Structure 1
Amino acid sequence: MADALVSVVLERLSSIVSEKVGQKVRLFVGVKNEVEKLTSSFRAIQAVFADAEERQLKDQFVKHWLDQLKDVSYDMDDVLDEWDTAIAKLQSKNTRKVCSFMIFSCFHFREVGLRHRVAYKIKELNERIDGIVVEKNRFHFKLLEAGIKQLEHHETASVIDVKEVKGREKDKVRVIKTLLSESSQGPALRTISLVGMGGIGKTTLAKLVFNDHVVKTHFNRRIWVCVSDPFDETRIAKEILEAHMRSTQNLKKLETLLEKIQQSFREKKFLLVLDDVWNEDATKWEQLRNSLKCGLPGSRILVTTRNRNVAKCMGSSPTDILELGLLPPEECWSLFSEFSYFEKTDREFDNLEDIGRQIAVKCEGLPLAAKTLGSLLRFKRSKAEWESVLHSHVWEIKEAESNLLAPLWLSYHDLPSEVRRCFSYCAVFPKDFTFYRGDLIKLWMAQGFLRETQNKEMEVMGRECFEALAARSFFQDFKKEEGDDSIYACKMHDMVHDFAQFLTKNESFNVEIDGAAESKIDSFSRDARHSMVVLRKYKTYSFPETIHSLKKLRSLIVDGYPSSMNATLPNLIANLSCLRTLRLSRCGIEEVPSNIGKLIHLRHVDLSGNLIRELPEEMCELYNMLTLDVSDCEKLERLPDNMEKLVKLRHLSVGRLFVKMRGVEGLSSLRELDEFHVSGSGEVSNFGDLRNLNHLQGSLKIRWLGDVKDPDEVKKALLKSKEHLTCLRLWFESRIDKGTIHDDEVLEALEPPPNLEFLEIRYYRGIDPVFSSCINKLRVVELSEWGKIENLPPLGKLPSLEELTISWMECVKKMGDEFLGLEVDREDDEDSEISIGEMTSPSPSNIITAFPKLKGLTISDMRKWEEWEGGEGGRWRRGNEDKTNISISIIMPSLRSLLILKCPKLKALPDYVLQSTTIEKLLIKSSSILEEQFKAGGEGWPNDSHIPSITII
């Protein structure tokens, strides 16, 4: 990570010596020489990085030297950030139409003080770097050409997530046999333990067993809990219960939880998996185990652990401790080759097979090593690149527990520097933490890991870094989006997490508060830069005062409910002046202190889920702010008045509660705005405030409670110029008063974005909704709670529509041709209809298709809906006697799923649904008339007997 830090510092040093603004705000002449000297020293160090980083694995003195270098680089970055921020603020002020003389005069006095402060700090840092350079020369590092690795973008869909467990079939059979075996001797509740070294595949095998069909059938209940360290009986008890209860929020005492477990599991045959157990204190496990004895005989506990002593403490008999061995050579080769030869040709395979087999041997039967190295070599196609991995000196390094360091190091070192920094940052989170892609990217941005270029935004760079780490097997347990199969969440293997912590020792730490907070935190370095403090949500602990002494912290992430946060927050902010990330979600905060405005480096602020009534105006002085999250703050009524000063803000989240906004029109850098709340004409915020936000991406919800009196004001939103918006939610919550324009006029004036794919319209009270012709890319539409409309709009004309949901249309009694979008295309004279047998094939121009791509249709809570018209599946028509104007209507030719929920008056489904050959799923719930028709033997049954899945509830 040090090389990436040095690169950032060099980049900033090169710009600081140049003139920044018209006022020639520069460093003193002598300091310019100091900066040039610093630049020279950093470049000399950069030249020996490749050798130094490899040698640190074997030489603790070299590792200590690199740690010193990181400290200096961090401090240098803070100094330069202070300077850049002051200059940028001056530029921002000079762009406003105020007295420039007063601005310059005011800044001049501050600037002199700033220049003195920066000059002093740079001189001090130069003295420190001199010592580091002298020490560097003693190590006699080699000058190695490491080169600058470029980040290559690989599609997420190409990430390999192997479901099969190579070489574990016999182990799987053995574990299942042990779990299911009954014995007349021994305890009724047996504990089976899988024991093996890190990276050998214990958790993977346990998952395979947990999801086996025979196991699912045998046990009434199956529960999976990741234990890790420390062993927290209360947390484990809560997670056991939460597997079968909606909420355990009010259950805080262990005794109460154990009583609930007994009630829930009494007379049930269950399987409880406790993954990654480290506890060697049998007394901590005893109470929980006793509460589980209420289950039926044959209930089992399956434990995974690296330590045989842990298995004994958990109550496993010698015969119930199953040692997991290394993969056989051929199975290890099979797993390695599945990753390394993915997307390679047969010729490339033949050329590289011999080297690949030698590398697979070096994995020594460890699945994680084979997967990691295979993922590394997947992107290398030359023999020289493969031989470089085979003959690396890293293989000479032996770690105490396993040989995983070498494969992980090789894969890590092959990453570009920006990806390495992103990976290393993950060490701040605890084991088994779920990483959400969007959240992680914002945290990387706040630390300056992602540098925006002319052609690539930070968010795009962050997504590519995330995908690169997933493709190299640094992430696992992927959760993917349904639409595009992209990864939105993942976890990290314990051994990979250990490796990340090895890389960031003394730099990052996470700590769980369990009553001994101060002593735990005292063990960490005073120079720590990133910290996560976990306070279990069901326990009440004070926020540890020791954190205040970690004055160099750049990240403070708090998870839990500290009892003293309101009292300690002002002092905490006063001490941690280097913070770039402050994440205090759901910490019971009632007031944000005004001194937060002095945290000039702050870029990421998450105050979501707190009890804040207002934000201090001083927050608008946080010029570098990139992300502000105040979602789910139930008492928050408005944002500060001077929000437009946050010119760099890219992500603003206000959540579901209505918040008055002022100054949003000045936030032209915004990429994400989850909700925009319109207060009405002449109030705090209006549609026109959106006009400059042309960088908005993804999803936007617009809600308005106030009056809208001018269609031109609505048009000022200029949604049509926001080409990166793909999802739009419109909530018509305004009251209709005299002089207020109607919802029809608002909808028509909005002019939707050109690349819209998802549209939701809720609480619409218009009569005749107008759908713009610009929305031909719409794939998903949701319409809900339209109070006055009797006829649905012609949605059948939307050419790309795939999913449609209609609900709570209280005035709709009938759906027919107007819904299909066919009434204007058909002749009113019914005599013009002719049968298919009378006609020859029509020309393509005369074929009319309604809902051509619709796959899923859900209609719910339509209490007055009685008729769904639609005679024959297709109808030929003619417009005159010589039969020249003939057309056929094709309706929903791609429909796969139809859900009818809570429509009690609906009499029948139309013919084009009943005769459909594409429907795979039909669900009818709380719709009494239809239920009778579609029960087996009912009048609807012959028509729908070809549908594979019919569910009547």
Structure 2
Amino acid sequence: MQERREMTHSFVRPRNVIGRDDAKKQILDLLMQQDADRNVNVIPIVGIGGLGKTTPAKLAFDDNQVVSRFQLRMWVCVFEDFNVARLTKEIIKSAIYRIDENFVVDGLPNSLKELLNDKKILENLGVDELQCRLRELLKEKKFLLVLDDVWNEDHSKGNQLEELLLGGCNGMKLAFKDGKEKEYPNLLKIGEAIVEKCKGVPLAVMTLASLLHSKFDEREWKFVRDNEIWNLDKKDGGILPALRLSYNQLPFHLKQHFAYCSLFPKDFEFISSQLVQFWMAHGILQSPDNEKQELEDIGELYIKELMSRSLFEDVDENYMFSYSFKMCDLVHDLAQSIAKGECSVVTKKSTLAAEVCHLSFLENGQEVTTQLEKLSKVHTNIFKTKQPASLLEACIIRFKYLRVLDLSKSSFEVLPSSIGSLKHLRYVNLSGNDIIKPLLDSICKLHSLQTLLPGGCSNLEWFPKGIRDIIGLRFLVVTTKHTCLLEKAVGCLDSLRSLWICECENLKCVFEGMEEGRLTQNVQLKSLQTFRIKDCPEFSSLLEGIQDLTALREFQIEDCPMLSRKCREEVRHKIAHVPNIDFDEYFDEDIGSS
């Protein structure tokens, strides 16, 4: 767990500061200037940690010239977690604190007056609502925003924040960061030549900017400018050569991960945790030899690296424990061209290469089944439409090395018992199948299984006891008709990292056999990091021994109205050490006080 740095603030006693007058004056001079060509002007203050960047910024922030010039002043600590949604909340909070400084509160829109009267409203706003409130707040106002302790290396997130500040505002953003920066004037001319080759296409410019932003060696910039790829394909305004250049510069392992994304259709909304599970199933997440990192954390790093190169876009962080993103159409085309022959989307008109390893089925029918006869090396089967049981049987019989089987939103009453023969299978997704009832003992033979997702299977009559023998299981989503889970099965899964309990209409407690809500010695879950309980209307009893889940990092209760306020507060106190705790406030007050 990353250690949280000490929060800073804008207050400093001038009489306690000696020898920083020149630094303060330099900042003031810059603040009093304004670039008419920019809505938001940025003043970076950089230097190694402990150099004393924050103190002169504090002195300038409270200077009378600054107070009179800017209608709004805001001070926000960033740290390494450059989460745009969190920062938006913090910016609004800081602004509200000083909102009556230079303009009349009566002139504010009603939505902002509500925030003044009840600041708790802010915590419940979604990302879109936060953006609207921020833009309302800054509209036509001259503001100063100080971002303190900026460590983030992903400049795309900084761009997201700047876009929020460009809502018709005139502002000045003062950011200071640990690190050293030097000017490289020759790179400017090289960069201008690269931009010209991009023919004014924003995605091309962004992609190559992401590639080069942290590189200061002229040879690397010249390599991009003079690369022969620019001569190979002139269509789309230079975007495809730019994308190919960015891809070619990827580390080898990231090329694998990027190509795998071609299995999904255009405009597909990826969920970070799901994509990481796919990669993990194929064994392509490797921890550095000198570090002990969780595979899930390594997968997150890979996703962020691809984002930093503009290969993923439209990031939405409004997912608990996860976030979504997409690939633009041209990037998707690039992934398909690279993965051709190894990854294929199957339709009735497809022509599949014999060496194909990963399949995504978009259609069904005899034509599709016939194409499978020449294949033997398939490791991935993703079904995007409802398929007949005969096709599933054919895949199980034919593909003995399957590692990923995605049957989400399928309609099988029962899984074929032959699934137990897939000894290499690591990922099974059954989510959304509302007619499946039993989960047969054959699934317990999948000793390599890491991810099992039967969430949303509303008629599932729970798992066989033998599931505890799947000792490598790391991610489990549960939907059951029972009032309690089977303790001796789930509670002994020592490798389990994530347990999500969702849409259980009858569930009252987590494990059966609990005495007055106590977590018994049979329940170990020593590695559990993410614990989520959602949409369980009868759920009323939490674990007394939950504090013994020492690896827990994230805990969420959502839409469980029978769980009392008292119980929530007791649990919150017991797991106060957990970095991410989220209890929604949805419950019946009459029941909640019991």
Interval containing the TM-score (normalised by the shorter chain): 0.5 to 0.7
Quote the residue 1:663 is aligned against: 489
Quote the residue 2:339 is aligned against: 504
User: Paired residue for 2:268, among 433, 445, 460?
Assistant: 433
In 2, Cα distance between equivalents of 1:470 and 1:497: 14
Residue identity over aligned pairs, in percent, reads: 29
- The one-letter code sitting in structure 2 at the alignment partner of 1:554 is H
Quote the residue 1:584 is aligned against: 407
SS of alignment partner, residue 222 of structure 2:
helix
Quote the residue 2:417 is aligned against: 594
In 2, Cα distance between equivalents of 1:460 and 1:356: 34
What runs of 5+ residues in structure 2 fail to find an aligned partner? 1-79, 86-176, 502-506
Contact 2:342–2:356 (CA under 8 A) maintained in structure 1: yes
Contact 2:452–2:475 (CA under 8 A) maintained in structure 1: yes
Q: Which has the higher contact order (CA 8 A, sep 6+)?
A: 2
Quote the residue 1:363 is aligned against: 198
- The one-letter code sitting in structure 1 at the alignment partner of 2:427 is H
Contact 1:626–1:651 (CA under 8 A) maintained in structure 2: yes
What are the equivalent positions in structure 2 for 1:604-615 lying under 5 Å apart?
604-610=427-433, 611-615=435-439
What are the equivalent positions in structure 2 for 1:534-573 lying under 5 Å apart?
534-535=362-363, 544-549=368-373, 550-562=375-387, 565-573=388-396
CA offsets 1:611-643 (integer angstroms, 9 cap, x no match): 222222122221221100111112211212211
- The one-letter code sitting in structure 2 at the alignment partner of 1:722 is T
Contact 1:641–1:663 (CA under 8 A) maintained in structure 2: yes
Quote the residue 2:310 is aligned against: 473
CA offsets 1:435-455 (integer angstroms, 9 cap, x no match): 111111111111222124542
Quote the residue 2:465 is aligned against: 641
Quote the residue 2:513 is aligned against: 681
Shift, 1:722, TM fit: 2.6
User: Paired residue for 1:526, among 354, 379, 404?
Assistant: 354
In 2, Cα distance between equivalents of 1:463 and 1:773: 29
In 1, Cα distance between equivalents of 2:568 and 2:342: 61
In 1, Cα distance between equivalents of 2:475 and 2:322: 20
Contact 2:346–2:368 (CA under 8 A) maintained in structure 1: no
Contact 2:546–2:574 (CA under 8 A) maintained in structure 1: no
Quote the residue 1:694 is aligned against: 526
Shift, 1:577, TM fit: 1.3
Relative distance call for 1:487 and 1:396 in structure 2 (3 A) is: farther
In 2, Cα distance between equivalents of 1:704 and 1:678: 13
Contact 1:479–1:487 (CA under 8 A) maintained in structure 2: no
In 1, Cα distance between equivalents of 2:556 and 2:454: 21
SS of alignment partner, residue 526 of structure 2:
coil
Quote the residue 1:352 is aligned against: 187
Contact 1:548–1:576 (CA under 8 A) maintained in structure 2: no
In 2, Cα distance between equivalents of 1:700 and 1:586: 22
Shift, 1:344, TM fit: 10
Relative distance call for 1:775 and 1:653 in structure 2 (3 A) is: closer
- The one-letter code sitting in structure 2 at the alignment partner of 1:586 is K
Quote the residue 1:44 is aligned against: none
In 2, Cα distance between equivalents of 1:812 and 1:668: 33
Relative distance call for 1:636 and 1:812 in structure 2 (3 A) is: closer
Contact 2:468–2:490 (CA under 8 A) maintained in structure 1: yes
What are the equivalent positions in structure 2 for 1:255-294 lying under 5 Å apart?
none
Shift, 1:378, TM fit: 1.3
In 1, Cα distance between equivalents of 2:567 and 2:220: 67
Contact 2:563–2:587 (CA under 8 A) maintained in structure 1: no
**Is residue 494 of structure 2 the alignment partner of residue 672 of structure 1?**
no
- The one-letter code sitting in structure 2 at the alignment partner of 1:419 is L
Quote the residue 2:42 is aligned against: none
Contact 2:563–2:592 (CA under 8 A) maintained in structure 1: no
Relative distance call for 1:422 and 1:689 in structure 2 (3 A) is: farther
Quote the residue 1:421 is aligned against: 256
Contact 2:539–2:562 (CA under 8 A) maintained in structure 1: no
Shift, 1:156, TM fit: 6.0
**Is residue 400 of structure 2 the alignment partner of residue 574 of structure 1?**
no
Relative distance call for 1:377 and 1:766 in structure 2 (3 A) is: closer
User: Paired residue for 2:294, among 440, 444, 457?
Assistant: 457
In 1, Cα distance between equivalents of 2:447 and 2:495: 12
In 1, Cα distance between equivalents of 2:382 and 2:231: 38
Relative distance call for 1:344 and 1:583 in structure 2 (3 A) is: same
What are the equivalent positions in structure 2 for 1:873-912 lying under 5 Å apart?
none
SS of alignment partner, residue 476 of structure 2:
strand
Contact 1:581–1:605 (CA under 8 A) maintained in structure 2: yes
Relative distance call for 1:762 and 1:385 in structure 2 (3 A) is: farther
Cα RMSD, aligned residues only: 4.0
**Is residue 451 of structure 2 the alignment partner of residue 619 of structure 1?**
no
In 2, Cα distance between equivalents of 1:767 and 1:373: 52
Quote the residue 2:585 is aligned against: 805
Contact 1:730–1:762 (CA under 8 A) maintained in structure 2: no
SS of alignment partner, residue 510 of structure 1:
strand
What are the equivalent positions in structure 2 for 1:166-315 lying under 5 Å apart?
none
User: Paired residue for 1:719, among 547, 567, 585?
Assistant: 547
Contact 1:678–1:704 (CA under 8 A) maintained in structure 2: no
User: Paired residue for 2:562, among 757, 762, 767?
Assistant: 762
User: Paired residue for 1:378, among 194, 210, 213?
Assistant: 213
Contact 2:547–2:574 (CA under 8 A) maintained in structure 1: no
| TM-score where L is the length of structure 2 | 0.60
In 1, Cα distance between equivalents of 2:575 and 2:511: 27
SS of alignment partner, residue 612 of structure 1:
coil
What runs of 5+ residues in structure 1 fail to find an aligned partner? 1-153, 160-341, 732-759, 783-803, 814-861, 863-953
In 2, Cα distance between equivalents of 1:493 and 1:772: 41
SS of alignment partner, residue 499 of structure 1:
helix
Aligned positions, number: 409
In 1, Cα distance between equivalents of 2:568 and 2:188: 67
SS of alignment partner, residue 701 of structure 1:
strand
